[in-house]
Chains A and B, each alone.
Chain A
Amino acid sequence: KAGVTQTPRYLIKTRGQQVTLSCSPISGHRSVSWYQQTPGQGLQFLFEYFSETQRNKGNFPGRFSGRQFSNSRSEMNVSTLELGDSALYLCASSLVAGGRYEQFFGPGTRLTVL
Chain B
Amino acid sequence: DAGVIQSPRHEVTEMGQEVTLRCKPISGHDYLFWYRQTMMRGLELLIYFNNNVPIDDSGMPEDRFSAKMPNASFSTLKIQPSEPRDSAVYFCASSTGRWGTDTQYFGPGTRLTVL
Instruction: Please say whether chains A and B are actual partners in one complex.
Output: no
Interface residues of chain B, those whose CB is within 8 Å of chain A, are none
Interface residues of chain A, those whose CB is within 8 Å of chain B, are none
